[in-house]
């Protein structure tokens, strides 16, 4: 019976956690898309600052890792395709893999490490220093004041970073194609464009938007639930990273299944 009780308790805790994420994301969405039309302006300067931190400052690491991932995909794909006499399909394999799956997923994991953890640490430190209580005393809603700028920045920057990661992954695959598979840069990019459909690109961008929502909600939620003491800030940051990766994988699975079952037959 204890085992069943533990399963029930874990299920209830999990549902409550997802509910708290939905409530936080809903409050941030209301602050971004509804309240500005009701006389409560968004903190645009803060949102731009967050966008620079989340997006522009992440370009170097996203570029480097995406380029190497594309190169690795080309090498691994060529190993099998060469045995089938279909080495010319390496461009298609890299393009589809990056745009549908690895581009948005790798970008999300890198953003979790950079920004999701920073969200939790920032809000957690404010909670420990009682700055959250000070905001509430001044009649400033913490969600609108702290979460909404991050929410908007992530929704805007994640698709942009994903698009750039897709391009750098294709470029990495192109390096192998040009040096070892008989392609020129022109023929490689032509093969890439022929392999891609609008659905491939759109599915990756839709995933990236959902990933951005999840990363923001989890990071901020863990920050708001930080206990007292500097040690708790570290625990909240760790929880934000672990839980964000878990929920990103779950969301990825859900949307991949949706796109699979709704794909038109050819």
Tell me, yes or no, whether 48 lies in a domain. yes
Nearest Cα residue to 86 out of 74, 94, 78 = 78
Which of these ranges, 96-105, 119-128, 129-138, 244-253, has the smallest mean pLDDT? 129-138
> In this predicted structure, what is the pLDDT of residue 51?
92
> In this predicted structure, what is the pLDDT of residue 1?
65
Q: Which domain holds residue 189?
A: 2-261
Tell me, yes or no, whether 163 lies in a domain. yes
Tell me, yes or no, whether 266 lies in a domain. no
Nearest Cα residue to 74 out of 89, 90, 85 = 90
Tell me, yes or no, whether 80 lies in a domain. yes
Over residues 44-52, mean pLDDT: 90
> In this predicted structure, what is the pLDDT of residue 41?
82
Which residue did the predictor score with more confidence, 181 or 106? 106
Contacts with 93 (C-beta within 8 Å, 6 or more apart), sequence order: 73, 74, 77, 81
Tell me, yes or no, whether 82 lies in a domain. yes
pLDDT band of residue 266 (cuts 50, 70, 90) is: low
Tell me, yes or no, whether 96 lies in a domain. yes
> In this predicted structure, what is the pLDDT of residue 82?
82
Tell me, yes or no, whether 7 lies in a domain. yes
Res. 130: pLDDT tops 90: no
> In this predicted structure, what is the pLDDT of residue 5?
73
Nearest Cα residue to 251 out of 84, 22, 66 = 22
Distance CA 146, CA 135 (A): 10
> In this predicted structure, what is the pLDDT of residue 265?
57
CA 7 to chain CA centroid, Å, is 29
Do residues 47 and 157 make contact, with C-beta atoms less than 8 angstroms apart? no
Nearest Cα residue to 216 out of 189, 244, 239 = 244
Q: How far apart are the first and last CA of the chain?
A: 51
Over residues 80-98, mean pLDDT: 86
Distance CA 244, CA 219 (A): 7
> In this predicted structure, what is the pLDDT of residue 251?
95
The neighbour count for residue 127, using CB atoms within 10 Å, is 21
Nearest Cα residue to 156 out of 209, 230, 222, 117 = 209
What percent of the chain shows pLDDT beyond 90?
Answer: 60
pLDDT band of residue 187 (cuts 50, 70, 90) is: very high
Total tally of structural domains belonging to the chain: 1
Res. 8: pLDDT tops 90: no
């Amino acid at each position: 019976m204890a085992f069943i009780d533990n399963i029930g308790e874990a299920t209830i805790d999990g549902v409550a956690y997802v509910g708290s994420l939905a409530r936080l994301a809903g409050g941030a969405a209301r602050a971004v898309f509804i309240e500005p039309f009701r006389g409560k302006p968004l903190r645009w300067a803060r949102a731009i600052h967050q966008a620079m931190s989340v997006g522009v400052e992440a370009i170097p690491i996203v570029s480097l890792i995406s380029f190497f991932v594309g190169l690795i995909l080309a090498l691994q794909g060529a190993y099998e395709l060469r045995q089938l006499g279909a080495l010319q399909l390496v461009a298609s394999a890299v393009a589809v893999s990056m745009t549908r799956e690895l581009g948005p997923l790798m970008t999300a994991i890198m953003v979790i490490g950079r920004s999701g953890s920073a969200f939790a640490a920032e809000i957690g430190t404010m909670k420990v220093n009682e700055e959250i209580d000070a905001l509430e005393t001044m009649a400033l809603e913490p969600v609108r004041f702290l979460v909404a700028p991050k929410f908007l920045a992530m929704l805007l920057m994640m698709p942009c970073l994903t698009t750039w990661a897709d391009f750098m992954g294709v470029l990495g695959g192109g390096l192998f194609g040009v040096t070892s598979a008989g392609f020129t840069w022109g023929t490689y990019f032509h093969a890439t464009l022929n392999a891609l459909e609008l659905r491939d690109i759109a599915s990756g961008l839709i995933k990236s938007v959902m990933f951005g929502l999840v990363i923001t909600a989890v990071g901020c939620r863990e920050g708001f639930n930080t206990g007292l003491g500097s040690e708790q800030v570290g625990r909240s940051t760790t929880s934000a990273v672990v839980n964000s990766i878990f929920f990103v994988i779950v969301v990825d699975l859900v949307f991949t299944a949706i796109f699979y079952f709704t794909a038109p037959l050819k």
